Amino acid sequence: MENKMIVANLKNYMNYPDTLMYLNEIKDIKDDVIFIPSNIYLTLFKGFNLGVQDISYLNEITTGEITASLVKSMGINYVMISHNERLINLNETTDIINKKIDNALHNDLKVIFCVGEIEKCDFDIACNIILNRLKETIFKIDESKIKNIIIAYEPFYAINSGVTQDILFTQKIVKFIKKSIFDRFNTEISVLYGGSVSDDNIESLKTLEVDGFLIGKASTKSISLKNVVRSIR
């Protein structure tokens, strides 16, 4: 199997002692995964391939904000933007999302852009939702920057639910996303799948024609993450 991208979105599940224990357990797979820990633990992951869960949409000095330039200065290459949890729980607007994307690309960060329908719906409705979201955001960036965009397809209802989407439905959505990007930019980009990815379902999910997986809660369990890595690699 080709080398697929594995992104571990650790969110804020683990406290400090948990994180120290986790770091000791994942040493042997550190080169196989892009880890996205809580910002306060980033320095603990020094030497790992890293991303951040968010950046500021502001450019000016603002207490408490983490700018794209600060992230880049630490040698971090990835930032996750537009995760459904932030859109829903923090009411992030499209304007804020676009400013974050601009800041990230200006500082040569690779954007893992999350997109997906909120509720379960039929294929045509899902495609319409996703296309409209892409038109509002990714379609507006400069064509020269598209190489720094990675799409993570994450239907919100599948996140943390333990329920994964139908494989055939998911494959059709992924193909739709790839075609939409190609039609707009005349180039191909990577598309990941996320939404309750775990070692319990990776054998079926790895049949998807995707470029990798965005793993949430299951990635905080070192054994589960190792099993996913072994299955894909």
Task: Name the packing angle between helices 123-136 and 167-185 (round to 10°).
Answer: 30
- Supply angle C-alpha 170, 105, 43, rounded to 5: 90
Q: Which of 60, 92, 136, 154 is flagged as catalytic?
A: 154
How many Cβ atoms are within 10 Å of 12's Cβ, its own excluded? 11
> CA-to-CA distance for 221 and 209, rounded, in angstroms?
25
Q: What's 221's DSSP letter?
A: S
Task: Verify whether residue 65 is a known catalytic residue.
Answer: no
DSSP code string of 11-57: TT---HHHHHHHHHHSGGGTTT-EEE--GGGGGGGTTSEEEES---S
Q: What gap in Å lies between CA 126 and CA 116, rounded to an integer?
A: 8
Catalytic site residue from 2, 25, 60, 83: 83
**DSSP label at 109?**
P
92 is catalytic: no
Q: How far apart are CA 82 and CA 92, in angstroms?
A: 8
Burial degree of 132 (CB within 10 A; 0-12, 13-18, 19+): exposed
Residues involved in catalysis: 83, 154
